[in-house]
Amino acid sequence: MGFIVFLGLVLLGGILFSFSAGVYLYSKMFTRKGYESHSSIDDEPHVKDEKIMTPLLDAKKRWEEKREERKIETIQIKSDEGLSLCGDLWLQKEEKSPVALLVHGFTDSAPGLAYLAEDYYNRGFSVLSINLRAHFQSQGNIPGFSVKDGEDIVLWLLFLKQRFGDDVKLLLHGVSMGASSVIMAVYGKKTQIKEVLPMISVVVADCGFSSFKTQLQNQIARILPRKGIQKIVGKLVYWGISVSNFICNRFTLSKASPLDAFQKILKEEKKEKYPMLILFHGKSDSLALPIMSEELFKIAPAPKRIVLVENAPHIGSYFYNPNGYMNTIIESVGFEKRLKEEGV
C-alpha cells in the first residue's frame, strides 16, 4: 500500500512539474510578451553571421525608409477569430504581374523579408509580405505555429484573388516557420484553398520544420540530453508545453506537422493537382535540421524539387547563393519566359 502511495506521489509530482515547467517555458518562449523581450533565436549562429545579417538589416532599413517612395500599401484583413492581420503590398505598374506572397519566420516580421521582396520586385513580381498573427503589426498574443498561420494564409490568398481576379498567378514563399506555414496552407486540406489552388504556380519552403513536435523536442534535447532521467524530464517538459498550447490555441503541437499533411495526401485515392514545391535548406542549419526538408521531399506530391546549400546556416540559403536561389525559383515554373513576354 505504501509503495502504491509512493508511486502515486511520484506520478503527481511529475505531472505538476511538467505542467509548471511547461507553463513557464511557454510563457517565456512562445507568448508575444516573452519572445519580444528576448527570443531564444537571438542566440542562434545565423543571427551572428554577417553574410546573412548585413544585407538582411540593410534591406529592412530600406523597406522602412522608402515605404512612401515605393508606394507600399498597408493591408489589413481579419482572421477567423477576428484578429487584425497586417501586410505590406508593393505593386508593379503592370496590373497582370504575378504576385509573391512572403511569409516570415518565428519572431520575425514583413520588413525582415525585405531582401526577398526587393529581389522579387526587381524580377517583375508584385509583393505581399505579411505579418503572422502575434507578430509586428498583426494582433494576437500567441503564434499560430503553422496551424493557424496556414488558415490565415488561405485568407490572404482569398484577398489576393478578390483584389487581382481569378487569373492572377501566385507564388508563396515561406522562411523558417513561414515555410512550414505555407505548406500547411496549400497541402493541409483547408476547404477554402480549393478556390485559389489553380492560381498558385509555386510554393517555396526555406528551412522549415517537418513537425513542430520534433522541432521542439530537438530544442529541448539541446539542453536535456536524451538519456536516463533527463530524457524523462524532457518528455514531461514537452508535454507541459503542448498542454499549455492546447489551452491557449486549442490544438496540440503534434498537429503542426507538414509531414502529416503530405502523408494524408499520399493516402488519397483521387490525387489533387498541386503547384511546384521547392524546398531549400542550408546544410549547416543547426536550428531546423536539413534532414527535415529531406523527409518532406521524399513524400511530398509532385512536382517538387529540393536544393541543399553548402555551408549555409538557418535562413542562409538565399544569402549564400542569391542568384542561384532565385533563378531556381523563377525558372522552375516558367516565370522567366512569361515575364520576358510581358516586357518586365
At 162 the pLDDT is 96
- pLDDT of res. 62: 98
Average pLDDT over residues 111-139: 97
The pLDDT assigned to 137 comes to 95
Helix 258-266 × helix 177-187 angle, to 10°:
30
Q: What share of the chain has pLDDT > 70, as a percent?
A: 90
pLDDT reported for residue 36:
87
Q: What is the pLDDT of residues 79-106, one digit of tens each?
A: 999 999 999 999 998 778 999 999 999 9
pLDDT (tens digit, 9 = 90+) per residue, 141-183? 999 999 999 999 999 999 999 999 999 999 999 999 999 999 9
- Burial (CB < 10 A; 0-12, 13-18, 19+), residue 215, is buried
What pairing do the DSSP bridges indicate for beta strands 276-282 and 170-175? unpaired
pLDDT, one tens digit per residue, over 51-66 is: 999 999 999 999 999 9
State the Cα–Cα distance between residues 43 and 295, nearest whole angstrom. 27
**Which has more confidence, 257 or 337?**
257
Q: What pLDDT sits at residue 6?
A: 54
Give me the pLDDT at residue 334, please: 75
Fold of 44-211+256-341: Rossmann fold (3.40.50)
DSSP β-ladder status, 73-78 and 84-90? antiparallel
Asked if the model's pLDDT at residue 113 lies above 70, the reply is yes
305-331: pLDDT as tens digits:
999 999 999 999 999 999 999 999 999
Position 186 pLDDT exceeds 80 = yes
**Half-sphere exposure of residue 101: CA atoms within 13 angstroms, side-chain side:** 32
pLDDT at 344: 45
163: nearest Cα among 97, 113, 82: 97
Number of alpha carbons in the 13 Å side-chain half-sphere of residue 245: 25
pLDDT at position 8, please?
A: 63
What's the chain's average pLDDT?
A: 90
Report the pLDDT value the prediction gives residue 189, as an integer from 0 to 100: 79
| Angstrom distances, CA of residue 315 to CA of 53, 89, 205, 286, 325 | 10, 23, 11, 11, 12
Q: Is 168 helix (H, G, I), strand (E, B) or coil?
A: coil
In terms of Cα–Cα distance, which of 305, 306, 312 is closest to 283? 312
Q: In the chain, what are the domain boundaries?
A: 1-30+215-250, 44-211+256-341
User: Could you tell me the pTM of the whole model?
Assistant: 0.93
Which pLDDT belongs to residue 256?
Answer: 96
